[in-house]
Structure 1
Amino acid sequence: MTPDLSQISDRELAALAKAGRQDAYREFLARYKAPTFRLIYRNIGDADEAMDLTQEAFVSGFAALDRYEADRPFKVWIARIALNKCRDWARRRKVRSFFSRALPLDSAHDVASDVPAPDAEVAGRAEMARVRAAMAELPVKLREVLVLRGLEELSQVEAADMLQVSEKTIETRLYRARARLKELLAVGAPE
């Protein structure tokens, strides 16, 4: 009789996946797809892109499963891959943005605007968009810590492990991220 995969450890599940058990891969997805999606979405702010990046993170993770250290939580390992996907996405977006601004003026009307229609936002959505925009202005290292600690509610130890930095670094970055976010929100606050 095959064991109930929802009851076994990440270490055992990884061994089954490496042995070619497709149900082990499905169990990893069942366990970690939602938290990975949330992490990515909170970093980039675009649900469609976040879904694509979540899929990319799992494809990359499963392809590199031989490098997974089974004594560490799979959640931390896949989250690190997801954060790298976010960083890659941000770099690609900067390049696309540069080239779209470099288009000749006669083709500029073909470029979609990121600015929503004035009547499309209600007060709550407008405030959320303002916070997301302010978070997007934070340096990546500060934004990642803010997402991990503030939104994902990871402990300082978990965040440090995920980002491969010291706990003190997490504490310092979180302090700086909150202070900078407060400044950014104060500047754009409605009067």
Structure 2
Amino acid sequence: MDATDRRSDAGDKVIGEDSDQALVRRFKAGDEGAFNELVRRYQGRVYGLACRMVRNPEDAEDISQEVFVKAYQALRRFREDSAVYTWLYRIASNLCINYLRRKKLRESLSYETIAGWLAGRGAGPDREMARGAVGTAVEEAVAKLPPRQRTVFILRQYEGLSHDEIAAALKRSVGAVKANYFHAVKRLQKELDGYQGFIEDGRL
């Protein structure tokens, strides 16, 4: 699946529902239910991002709840010319990075997600054993990525955000985002160099 196919700008918005900006305006006008609608629209995506970053469902749930607490507290100051989803991703990413720095937990991504751009040639003698070995190696390699590179990589590969959108979410320049992504990929390719022979077209 192409990264750009994984995300809708409207979150889980149903046709005919208010836009994110309309919900923000309603909330600012005193409609608490508008915030609840934003939570419904984005809580799954925020929780999914937290899960992928911290690799602990319970902690991810705590983080996603904290995201919306912070969002509620700040929403009246939200600039309506910005995208709600990038704003929420920014809050979530920062909380996850702080969590990882405090706990020093390992982060991992699935083999299927990154195998495509690590494409090589050939296959091992035992495909199941090779898959397990590569999966472990990938997990360890991604765990070594600096938090900012890990965040950019996840937002790009899992959430399908463009470089511009990631820059907006993290309040960084597009150039810095591209550099972080480039270095993340290079680090992973270097770490997994010994496994290139087991990877072909995203499958073992």
TM-score, normalised to structure 2, is: 0.68
> What is the CA distance between 1:80 and its match in structure 2?
0.6
Which has the larger share of helix? Answer: 1
Cα-to-partner distance string for 1:133-170 (whole Å, 9 max, x where unaligned): 32221011211111111121111111111122222222
Task: Call closer, same or farther: CA 1:45–1:125 in 2, change over 3 Å.
Answer: farther
Q: Quote the residue 1:41 is aligned against.
A: 51
How do residues 1-191 of structure 1 correspond to structure 2 at under 5 angstroms? Answer: 7-94=17-104, 127-128=134-135, 130-186=137-193
Alpha-carbon distance change, 139 to 162 in structure 1, aligned in 2, over 3 angstroms: same
1:34-90 CA-partner distances (Å, limit 9, x unpaired): 111122222222222111111111111111112211111111111111011112212
CA distance in 2, matches of 1:66, 1:33: 19
Other structure's SS at 1:72 match: coil
Structure 1 segments (4+ residues) deviating >4 Å: 122-130
Provide the secondary structure at the position in 1 that maps to 2:192.
Answer: helix
Q: How many residues of Structure 1 are paired with residues of Structure 2 in the alignment?
A: 162
Assess, with a 3 A threshold, how the Cα gap between structure 1 residues 175 and 34 changes in structure 2: closer, same or farther.
same
Q: Distance in 2 between matches of 1:129 and 1:47?
A: 20
Higher RCO (CA 8 Å, separation ≥ 6 residues) = 2
How much does 1:187 deviate?
6.3
Specify the alignment match of 1:103 in structure 2.
none
| 2: CA distance, partners of 1:71 / 1:61 | 16
Is the partner of 2:81 in helix, strand or coil? coil
Mean CA deviation greater in 35-44 or 18-27: 18-27
Instruction: Look up the equivalent residue of 1:168 and give its one-letter code.
Output: G
- What per-residue deviation string (whole Å, max 9, x for no partner) do you get for residues 2-22 of structure 1? xx9962122221122234423
Instruction: Calculate percent identity across the aligned residue pairs.
Output: 32
Q: CA RMSD in A?
A: 2.8
Q: Matches of 1:67 and 1:131 in 2, distance apart?
A: 41
Shift of residue 125 of structure 1? 6.9
TM-score, structure 1 normalization: 0.72
